Structure 1
């Protein structure tokens, strides 16, 4: 029996990778029907992507940033269009594709680990990524920050190959992916430091520099064209934010708060476990670097490049004056996972059993937190929208509807509802008029606007539905009722500038 099993040991790495990928897949897809994030932003972006495909258009810009009067690039919407065109009939499909990409990101970090330190290290970082609560959470959240999480894994992989190998095309692809990630969401701007670092630690031939810059320039072209042809709207918005907008809100920004409060929580969320445990990891990481320097140990250039890159991004993020959400540091996930894995290896080299116990605690902590998130996740919005549509079908004579939102107060409900109606082919600009309003801001009631139904969530009324079919669209527009259809969502998100003088 032993003789039959023995040949399998030569394939231990392949078997380990398959097990890790299987674990990753299970944790990212289990209980998926209750986990996929379905709210205003997700619904809006999918609506825009679907409408762009229906109109045979390629958006030139993306949605507005929440930070100020400037927009993202169109790349996130282009990515969604690629998702949807493969399977345009199934509403869950874009979310499933993103979850699959987060399985691939585990494979990417395994490849990074193998390239830098070999198979054992690759398995360690693969396990950490597989059970990472933050990675698992973002896998089911169809937003541009979550896409940056996947792209950052690919970027770090390309970065390592660019400084290690002599293939010129690596430089082009690295530059292309870095600025594409920035265009998807501006949190990825920190990754720009990898452009000069790839030259500092890699070959500095003219052809590589040219290809790196060319790759970095191409994703900027759509937004640059929009900016130049619209009175430099983007440039003015970014400058206004830099000189004025970022100071409009106060966020505690001391170094002590940044290092002692924000980072322990962020690190714990990425690798799993309690904040105290993440503090220990951070301390062990720093102590391991200092210990290696005192021993005059030679670091591989890949590690030096990653350390320098992370340090620069760490300092840059300290001077970001907005609220630091977990979703705004997904571009740093590969660095945190790699550094945690490196720290574990240093402990194993010093105290083998202590290192193994430390690794097991990390995996157990990540798995425990992830399973809690998975088992307690709920997605009530999709069920609510389907129930409302059944209510419409039983109440109104037509089977297609035109949705209105009073002062955009209920847009968090209206947008998902419009997307589900669109997938069911039940929305039309000439359909039966239905209005939604947040309960705390009810519209005036008259013969043209009739209260039809109120939604109670928890113990209070949250949402009210109105029959507005007898009111003209002009009357509704004059009385703060916003028309919400795929066409208007598309226009107000990516073609609003065509109707304004900027």
Structure 2
């Protein structure tokens, strides 16, 4: 069990306080997802030209995973933006001489990204590459292996500035660990030494090259799985041809090295390669795909235009499918309208059966809270019917009645019209706990469970 740094929540809290809007967290994620489009445009423009920048920006804007990140509210959804910013700053500081504050800022951006989700650790390879790109080395000594070079004092100082920025972002997490018996350090150590052996995922080079990368590339661009293999093959051949002709500029070589290191690291990673946890690689996928399209346009304008148009048309169906609101959101809004019509001007307590289908319940709870009718006590108790909890026990049931017990319970806990919601007002708090419905969902309860969970677990 891991925990992440507070930077994700701090951003949401700050934007909420700034706008004072009930849907501020979602708005912020949408803004961040949109900002990633402009960041990728800036990167591609720097590496190629404005036309290529527009191509890459179009790929990002139409990417189904990127559209999804604009709607969801999970911490990995910010990773693409911080990965893109990290690469943009990397290209800036390696292209010209920049003062220490730029390196410090770069370290801060990297650190915040890692705090948000540890997948960003894959971009730490950019730190040594940035020093290498400075081309400032001194001959440290001569030995049997030849000359040994070491970064100059200036290069090393810049590297330390980046490390300082990185370290500053981890101060909150360090304070948390110091106050909670090294919870994070202990659990990471346990996972690395023993936890990773709890499951086995069969991987070999064949599966990795034939299945994983084509599927991941196709998924990121919203293409059918079958398109993955030819797409990756074309990308590989294009870069191989450019490298052979020695026409690839240094920034591209540095990015290829960074990608190659992560390529090898993922091959030998022992866990599941879940696409949602690999968003830090999205900038590479968009840039490399855009590079190939740019080369095709340079080779043959009309062929490049047709290829780009075909790719965009192929991406559209998956992107369009991501546009509507998620199912829990739609159902929650529908049930909110129903509650307002059936139970007007009433306070509502909302329960979740063992947190099954929790996304739907919490979505409704939040809408009730926004409408100032959610309460933790009193009012009308509601919950989405689930056979795993069933109807709470009640002394009102007459076992000698000719009416079956289940029918009696249905009369005590009636459904709202045309809805899976049932009224639980008749149940006592102890009966709700006994049957698995637990305690009512409240903002304070969610805050304690999400942010202050260690008070309960006492790690």
Give me the TM-score of the superposition, normalised by structure 1. Answer: 0.76
Q: Which residue of 2 aligns with 1:370?
A: 319
Q: Decide which moves more: 351-360 or 149-158.
A: 351-360
1:298 is displaced (CA, Å) by 4.7
Alpha-carbon distance between aligned partners in 1 of 2:431 and 2:393, rounded to the nearest angstrom: 13
Q: Which residue of 1 aligns with 2:133?
A: 201
- Confirm whether residue 109 of structure 1 aligns to residue 56 of structure 2: no
Q: Which residue of 2 aligns with 1:315?
A: 264
Q: Which residue of 2 aligns with 1:71?
A: 3
Alpha-carbon distance between aligned partners in 2 of 1:164 and 1:433, rounded to the nearest angstrom: 64
* Preserved CA contact (<8 Å) 2:127 2:159: no
- Superposed counterparts of 1:341-420, under 5 Å: 341-374=290-323, 377-392=324-339, 399-420=346-367
- Confirm whether residue 141 of structure 1 aligns to residue 72 of structure 2: yes
- Confirm whether residue 452 of structure 1 aligns to residue 414 of structure 2: yes
- Confirm whether residue 152 of structure 1 aligns to residue 83 of structure 2: yes
1:363 is displaced (CA, Å) by 2.3
1:176 is displaced (CA, Å) by 0.9
Q: 1:286 to 1:399 in 2, by over 3 A?
A: same
Give me the TM-score of the superposition, normalised by structure 2. Answer: 0.83
* Preserved CA contact (<8 Å) 2:218 2:225: yes
CA RMSD, Structure 1 to Structure 2 (Å): 2.8
Deviations 1:180-236 (A, max 9, x none): 111112222212222222222236534312220111011211111111221111111
1:390 is displaced (CA, Å) by 5.0
Q: Decide which moves more: 250-259 or 301-310.
A: 250-259
Q: Which residue of 2 aligns with 1:177?
A: 109
Q: 1:247 to 1:394 in 2, by over 3 A?
A: same
Q: 1:293 to 1:434 in 2, by over 3 A?
A: same
- Confirm whether residue 340 of structure 1 aligns to residue 289 of structure 2: yes
* Preserved CA contact (<8 Å) 2:44 2:53: yes
Q: 1:128 to 1:382 in 2, by over 3 A?
A: closer
Please say which structure displays the higher CA radius of gyration.
2
- Confirm whether residue 326 of structure 1 aligns to residue 282 of structure 2: no
1:288 is displaced (CA, Å) by 2.5
Q: 1:276 to 1:346 in 2, by over 3 A?
A: farther
1:501 is displaced (CA, Å) by 3.4
Q: 1:240 to 1:392 in 2, by over 3 A?
A: same
- Superposed counterparts of 1:84-103, under 5 Å: 84-91=16-23, 93-103=24-34
1:346 is displaced (CA, Å) by 3.0
1:485 is displaced (CA, Å) by 1.0
SS at match of 2:181: coil
Q: Which residue of 1 aligns with 2:446?
A: 489
Alpha-carbon distance between aligned partners in 2 of 1:435 and 1:244, rounded to the nearest angstrom: 43
* Preserved CA contact (<8 Å) 2:384 2:421: yes
Question: Gapped runs of 5+ residues in structure 2?
Answer: 137-153, 397-408
Q: 1:398 to 1:368 in 2, by over 3 A?
A: closer
Alpha-carbon distance between aligned partners in 1 of 2:132 and 2:74, rounded to the nearest angstrom: 33
Alpha-carbon distance between aligned partners in 2 of 1:456 and 1:187, rounded to the nearest angstrom: 43
1:262 to 201, 212, 220: 212
Deviations 1:437-477 (A, max 9, x none): 552211433148942327878xxxxx5524246624x6644
Deviations 1:92-111 (A, max 9, x none): x4323322322222211111
Q: Which residue of 2 aligns with 1:38?
A: none
Q: 1:346 to 1:382 in 2, by over 3 A?
A: closer
Q: Which residue of 1 aligns with 2:458?
A: 501
Alpha-carbon distance between aligned partners in 2 of 1:285 and 1:431, rounded to the nearest angstrom: 62
* Preserved CA contact (<8 Å) 1:175 1:216: yes
Alpha-carbon distance between aligned partners in 1 of 2:118 and 2:385, rounded to the nearest angstrom: 31
Q: 1:393 to 1:269 in 2, by over 3 A?
A: closer
- Confirm whether residue 288 of structure 1 aligns to residue 219 of structure 2: no
Alpha-carbon distance between aligned partners in 1 of 2:456 and 2:73, rounded to the nearest angstrom: 29
Q: 1:137 to 1:488 in 2, by over 3 A?
A: closer
Alpha-carbon distance between aligned partners in 2 of 1:410 and 1:357, rounded to the nearest angstrom: 45
Q: Which residue of 2 aligns with 1:21?
A: none
Q: Which residue of 1 aligns with 2:93?
A: 162
